[in-house]
Structure 1
Amino acid sequence: MNNTPQPSFRIDPTLTLALAQASLAAYNDYERKPFKAPDNYIYWARFTGWDDWFSTYGQEERFGLIFKYVGPENVKNRFIVAFRGTSSIADLYEDANFELEAFKPFSNTVSPVANVSSGFNSIYATKGGNMKLTMQQQIFTALAPTASEIFITGHSLGGALSQLFTLDMRVSLPTVRIGTINFASPMVGDASWQTACNNAGATGKIIRVANYWDIIPTFPWYVPGYVSIGREFNIAFSSIFGTVDALSDHSLLNYQTVLNHCVWLNPQVWVGHFIDAVYGLRMSSTAVPSVAKETWLSTLKEIHEMKRSLLATNEIAEREIVLFEE
């Protein structure tokens, strides 16, 4: 259960905003738009992934960017690896594929075997078409052998991929310093995944930034057994008019706006208004409500189940009408 307390720890303002910018850049690169590297970083490499449609159709897509640090700190070979979120129909299929399969690291072995979403894992670890290397292989090839410190990030689907890569780094290159801050990430695997991350030291490296009103970090709540890992840093924003819109509550640009305000405060909570990046709604950022997220989420689940039941009933009725007319 998540009782959504106010932040009990602080997130690094500069790093958090840099990683949010890197995640946004990954989206822009997918759309072939110009992108802005985080401050004190330069573009280093791009990587792709394979989206497999029902094991019949598939396509190679741009999935992320790697940036190298060139700032004033006396540190060599520091990188950011940023994964983008859902941006295509193929992504939607993979997002919805929550059957479990075993995760295989780039090198060495995971103990215990970690069961993760086959949709996320397929993008990360498979190839198709004219791809020469999987996403996993591309990233490790681009970083090895020089990387000494890696910050990992992603939004939504990209947040899930960032968690897979975090475990992979702890298992495959355990001497490299890493840290992960992702945004609006869904859950990735079951208890075996959680245990594997604990054993490898990955859990303590992950911070998940989540909007209290965003339902995606609770996905797949309708599939038993999935668990969250890492520490959760909560913010709270939604439409001031009380309208429920999943896209606005999930938007990376809206996350970025709230974080730009709150990370510099003590406590890191911003109360204010801003314009929605999706529909231009008037949005409100508040302290995280004291009511557990599961309380209002359970109502949403009831609505979801009712809708599914009604649709199924109507579909049966329509079939009966067609049969009667025939």
Structure 2
Amino acid sequence: MYSVLLPYAALGALSLTFAKPVELHVRDVTPVSSSELASFAPYTQFARAAYCPTDSLQNWSCGEACEANSDFEVSLVGGDGNDVQIYFVGYSPSLGAVVVAHEGTDPTQLESDLTDVDIPLAPLSSTLFPGISSDVQVHTGFQDEHALTADAILAEVKSLMSSKGTSKIVAVGHSLGGALAEIDTIFFRLNIPSATISAMTYGTPRVGNPAWASLVDSSNVNFKRIDNMKDLIPIVPGRSLGYQHPAGEIHILSPGDAVSCPGDEDATDADCQIEYVPNIFDGNIIDHLGPYEGIYIGTIFCT
């Protein structure tokens, strides 16, 4: 591991004379309607299901999370929840899409790991991500975890797309699982370029550097990352360490009240995550678990 400490750049003083006062443009957030918030529920329940034991996922009998997507046809389940995060792949007739879901991890452990000053960024694997510039860098641990299951998941996704006659893929995940789903978007785009790809992530930490964020933004992926109230996980690792989120933030301010934040990371509007939770000491790790419009996500909520 190596240190990636990157101090904030100092801004030089400007001695310019303007003919008239300059107005700083603050990007406006957009309220998210109640109907749009309600439409997220199936994806939230898939992210919740990824925390459930593999035997219950194989039978799609994981309680409320499975019942909420009762028509889902699971075809591949893997991982052990320890060395390899649990994951599942299947087909949702309701969504008309192949769904890939990844398990998250203990939020207190994740907070500890991601606030460490020695957090390595590294270029993407040239084997799994051929042709991507070495300027694009992601968290080494996230990339290594993704690589453990990438080939098996890709093969199953391609098989299902063929057998079900769909071009749609949806990647979902919460916490670390959200980071893996974010990496999935580029992995699927490179390997299945004709696919229509969406991702819904919850409480996702920053995954990569600004070049990574730009790559996600330009990859024709319908990407949404949902932050809940004072959750501190989405603001780590710090931007001072070279990390940046891609666009697509939806910030839940309170149950039933959420805003869509513009740009990669909106540091100008008080309703967006990095202003709402300016540092980890102002955050609340409990908000990482939810509620995401009435749905809590985590191992203890797999019932």
**TM tier, smaller:** 0.5 to 0.7
Structure with higher helix content? 1
Residues 1:182 and 2:219 aligned together: no
Partner of 2:31, secondary structure, is: coil
The code of the aligned residue for 2:91 comes to K
Q: Which entry has the higher C-alpha Rg, 1 or 2?
A: 1
- Displacement of 1:110 in angstroms is 2.0
Mean CA deviation greater in 218-227 or 174-183: 218-227
Aligned counterpart, 2:77: 46
Look up the match of 1:24. Answer: 48
CA contact (8 A) 1:4 1:234 kept: no
Letter in 2 for 1:118: T
Give the match for residue 292 of structure 2.
255
Corresponding position of 2:119: 98
8 Å contact 1:82–1:154 — kept in the other structure?
yes
Q: Secondary structure at the match of 1:213?
A: coil
Gap runs ≥5 in structure 1: 52-58, 126-133, 239-243, 260-276, 279-326
Matched, 1:213 2:213: no
Q: CA deviation at 1:111?
A: 4.0
Q: RCO greater where, 1 or 2, for CA within 8 Å and sep 6 or more? A: 2
Question: Amino acid of the residue matched to residue 98 of structure 1?
Answer: I
Secondary structure of the 2:170 match is: strand
Q: CA deviation at 1:40?
A: 2.8
Mark the CA change 1:31 to 1:44 in structure 2 (over 3 Å): closer, same or farther: closer
Separation (CA, whole Å) in 2 of partners of 1:248 and 1:198:
29
1:240-279 equivalences under 5 Å are 246-252=284-290, 254-257=291-294
1:136 to 147, 150, 158: 150
* Contact residue 50 and residue 103 of structure 2 kept, 8 A: yes
Partner SS, residue 214 of structure 1: coil
8 Å CA contact 2:213–2:247 kept in 1: the answer is no
Which SS does the other structure have where 2:241 is aligned?
coil
Name the CA distance, whole Å, in 2 between partners of 1:32 and 1:98.
35
The answer as to whether partners of 2:204 and 2:234 remain within 8 angstroms in 1 is yes
CA 1:91 to 1:224, structure 2 compared with 1: closer, same or farther past 3 Å? closer
Name the residue aligned to 2:279: none
C-alpha distance after superposition, 1:231-269 (max 9, x if no partner): 11111249xxxxx773321114x224179xxxxxxxxxx
Corresponding residue for 2:241? 224
| TM-score normalised by length of structure 2 | 0.65
Paired positions, count: 234
The residue number in structure 1 matching 2:266 is none
SS of 1:24's equivalent?
A: helix
